Structure 1
């Protein structure tokens, strides 16, 4: 199996994803449809003196869910966008927490993908759970410069 993180579409996603850089996120592809995304909570993520803004936690899980789906469709020269995201926050993400988002595609169709994920902290505590619906479409709709 090819290392999907080296696929041209995923490599281009890494270049385009400036928001992920801003939040300090990075990912590994475990297998097709399964991604682990990591982010350390810094001062830039905080909504209070000690707790992360829910939007930064949502951004982490949305990225993980999206890239899990991207690994499913990139070999078909497609990319994905979020149609629906549902997140449940279980405990606060605190300053200096190392968050790990684990996302797995549960059903993949020609255009619609269903994906679920969870975020844990460095103690293994469940911080949030999420599910999403993603839309897959040809990469040529956003750029002809991928290949």
Structure 2
């Protein structure tokens, strides 16, 4: 894709292919790439992200910083909402999210976040997410998020 403002805007505003938009989102998502997060959206409203905790994610020796887990939570909640937004020719932004931590996440743990769309309205959508330790299957955190839907043409694409 040519890297011009007009080309990007046209791609998003005229594209109705949900899978193509999610694939492009994955390409642009530097935050996820920098933190080793993978994202799969297998159906509208359902998102799964995974990541392995590495040295740069530590806040104390051998332990993951809560902000890393919150980042994965927000990204997965957001992908769930974004898949719905894309399917409706819109974009979305986080309005609010809440996270509860239940178990520590340690260096080299692999965690899996799974989010599902629970409610859709004209302007707001609500999603829920569990993050589990991939090896043990135990829930390490739960969260909920609210996202604002807005028209694609409000994106500046700069």
Structure possessing the higher radius of gyration over alpha carbons: 2
Contact in 2 for aligned 1:7/1:74 (Cα 8 Å)? no
- TM-score scaled by structure 1? 0.90
**2:151, 2:17 → 1: CA distance?**
21
Task: Tell me which of 113, 138, 144 is aligned to 1:131.
Answer: 144
Q: Does structure 1 conserve the Cα–Cα contact (< 8 Å) formed by 2:94 and 2:146? A: yes
2:86 maps to: 74
The alpha carbon displacement at 1:30 in A equals 2.8
| 1:29 to 2:49 alignment | no
2:108 corresponds in structure 1 to 96
Match of 1:114 among 126, 146, 150: 126
RMSD of aligned residue pairs (Cα, Å): 1.7
1:34-55 per-residue CA deviation (whole Å, 9 max, x = no partner) reads 1111011000111011110000
Deviation of 1:140 after TM superposition, in Å, equals 2.1
Distance across 1 between alignment mates of 2:44 and 2:123: 17
- SS of 1:47's partner is strand
Is 2:100–2:142's contact at 8 Å kept on the other side of the alignment? Answer: yes
Match of 1:85 in 2: 97
Q: What's the offset of the Cα at 1:93?
A: 0.9
Contact kept in structure 1, 2:118 and 2:126, CA below 8 Å: yes
Q: TM-score, normalised by structure 2?
A: 0.84
- SS, match of residue 83 in structure 2: helix
1:11 to 14, 23, 27: 23
Q: Secondary structure at the match of 2:75?
A: helix
